[in-house]
Homo-oligomer: A and B are copies of this chain.
């Protein structure tokens, strides 16, 4: 049982009876739990609750809400109140809020913010110009800066006054040129050590000038990979001319990774990714997001029926042959699904590169042969368990299995690589789509092997009928 579920009804009651009393009650609760409570309330009640709180108390709650909740809530509030709360939010969260509001409302909030906090409004405009999936949209413009000629004492005072403004950890001091270019970085840790021996020495010799940075248009997932790889807690975002635009901190990366992973899993599962959690997605949105793919896969499976019908002469001649089709094609689908998820995930984490494609192809070919031979052996004896079946048919099933598993492994591995090469997200080659493709391939392999292996049985059947 979550605390929010227990508290929400009480708070709903107090809100109706004595709204003033709510404020004290809320001071003791962690903002994350408060955000849970706000999620449980109706939007108009939540708006009332946040409206009663000072903006610096409401902002941390608002920041923690899901995007669709922020939107619903903002629509219930006056643009002035939203602007006041926005002025207390971290710059990156503020830019996110701006990007989800309906355009007209966003303009209203922005013009109100312009009055309350002109600098915040300016920052909001700057961050909002980058794509939602770009590094620029994830960066905060709150960080500590200095000049190389500043003394350690001056830098330390900058850290102190920054600490008073925000509640986020301070990792580094960024030394800028007069025109705002990033010249070097010194960590707070190093500054603390250096302060011991001499507060009046300049920052300059402490600076790391060989730092790693990212451009503002880099994809957030790529930024996440680099920060994980190089163990960087705060990544500077730098423009082409060297200007420092902002900083991305490691805690935002955790959210990026989780969201990216959810999207990938949903694509692999064969649907449009949801933007909101399962229970917040409307029934209609589900039908749309699932229906489109389900329909596409259904229509692509029509080809299995067309192919089977086309080979009616073969399948009618070998009584019971058609009953083996689901067994055979599923072996292809399963091996293809294994290969494609391996490659999709490898591409996502960077362990697999596009240029490795031929190594992958060889490997998957080898694996297909070995795995296929394994299944073929079992399939062969399975068919022989039925006394009415020819040994030739058992051999047909076995040979077809090797071909089908090889096709599954190679197609399953190569399709994600091809899609990435074409600039499409490889997760979109979702496992079910690969399965449909391999189902048809599997039928063609099976029937063609049968035509060769059992030519006499087929001819005899055709003569009789």
- Which of these, B32, B257, B338, contacts A258 with CB under 8 Å? B257
- Which of these, B269, B295, B309, B334, contacts A342 with CB under 8 Å? B269
A443 to B227, CA, bound (A): 50
Report whether B344 and A265 are in contact in the complex, using a CB–CB cutoff of 8 Å: yes
The residues of B that contact A270 with a CB separation of less than 8 Å are 334, 337-338, 341
Q: Does A177 contact B (CB under 8 A)?
A: no
- Which of these, B297, B363, B431, contacts A283 with CB under 8 Å? B363
Report whether B291 and A371 are in contact in the complex, using a CB–CB cutoff of 8 Å: yes
Report whether A367 and B290 are in contact in the complex, using a CB–CB cutoff of 8 Å: yes
How many copies of the shown chain assemble into the complex? Answer: 2
Size range of the interface on A? 35 or more
Main secondary structure on chain A at its contact with chain B? helix
Report whether B32 and A229 are in contact in the complex, using a CB–CB cutoff of 8 Å: yes
A227 to B278, CA, bound (A): 22
The residues of B that contact A418 with a CB separation of less than 8 Å are none
Report whether A432 and B257 are in contact in the complex, using a CB–CB cutoff of 8 Å: no
Query: Which of A277, A278, A379 has the most chain B CB atoms inside 10 A of its CB?
Result: A278
Report whether A331 and B298 are in contact in the complex, using a CB–CB cutoff of 8 Å: yes
**Distance in Å from the Cβ of A336 to the closest Cβ of chain B?**
10
A297 to B322, CA, bound (A): 19
Which of A47-55, A106-114, A123-131, A160-168 has 4 or more CB atoms under 8 Å from chain B?
A: A160-168
- Which of these, B258, B299, B334, B342, contacts A228 with CB under 8 Å? B258
Q: Which 9 A-B pairs have the closest CB atoms?
A: A269-B341, A308-B323, A277-B351, A304-B326, A322-B322, A163-B189, A261-B261, A278-B346, A265-B345
Listed A/B pairs (27) with beta-carbon separation below 8 Å: A32-B230, A163-B189, A163-B193, A169-B187, A170-B188, A231-B251, A262-B345, A264-B265, A266-B341, A266-B345, A268-B268, A270-B338, A271-B342, A278-B342, A283-B363, A283-B366, A290-B335, A293-B338, A294-B371, A294-B405, A302-B327, A308-B322, A308-B323, A325-B326, A330-B432, A330-B436, A330-B439
